[in-house]
Amino acid sequence: MSKDIKTVLFDLDGTLADTAPDLAYALNCVLVEQGKPPLPFEMIRPVVSHGGIALTRLGFGLEPEQPGFAPLRERLLEIYRENIARETDLFPGMAQTLAAIEAQGMQWGVVTNKPAWLTEPLMEALQLSTRAACIVSGDTLKNRKPHPEPMLYACNLTGSDAAHCLYIGDAQRDIEAGHNAGMRTLVALFGYIGEQDRPEEWGADGMVQSAPEIMEWIDSNADQ
């Protein structure tokens, strides 16, 4: 076991939990309500980590400042909240990874840009709320990732220095946020990586293809 990693922090969508099926369902519900055809899941999945704004842009070709954008986004999130754990589950091997982190005496927590009114019921539905050492949402503080503020707030909540934290995410802003806070970082390649993404250029300390590789990386690299 690594002696210097005390806390493992996860992005939520596309890293800890596979939320894409439920977010895709919500977007397609809104599209159908508006008389538009639903989009294929394969088109929606890579956009999920970028949130409701990106999903609304994908579905309707609108920008946030354009008329009609706000009510469409609000409707999408309303449907999503009503179906927040319809199909969502942890990624394969993640439950065992969380158990292994706990068994080795480390803590784990979540730092997400998802707003608390969606984060908290999802964590409850996954039965993870009482196990997480911290849950920092996108509206917990003034700033969101890639700003380091939520990362450093997670350090404060867990009592860990940033140098003793590992942050795992599936978007470039996750790696930037971890670096900005002085943490080590891993890219979750099993997450919502788009064809245009270049995770090898994000500057992470490592990349993992599956959840079980997280503990392997910690055991083999964290002391270096």
| Active-site pick, 11, 22, 170, 174 | 11
To the query of whether residue 18 is one of the catalytic residues in this protein, the response is: no
Phi, psi of 9 (to 5 degrees): -110, 140
Query: CA 27, CA 6: separation in Å to the nearest integer?
Result: 38
To the query of whether residue 11 is one of the catalytic residues in this protein, the response is: yes
Token pair belonging to 85: 């754990």
| 214, 186 Cβ separation under 8 angstroms | yes
Could you tell me which residues come within 8 angstroms of residue 194 by beta carbon, excluding any fewer than 6 positions away? 46, 47
Task: Look at residue 66 and give its three-state secondary structure.
Answer: coil
CA of residue 25 relative to chain centroid, distance: 18
Query: CA 42, CA 207: separation in Å to the nearest integer?
Result: 22
| Active-site pick, 13, 18, 174, 205 | 13
Scanning the structure block, which residue is given the tokens 């890219």?
187
CA-atom Rg of the chain in angstroms: 17
| 110, 116 Cβ separation under 8 angstroms | no
Which residues are part of the catalytic machinery?
11, 13
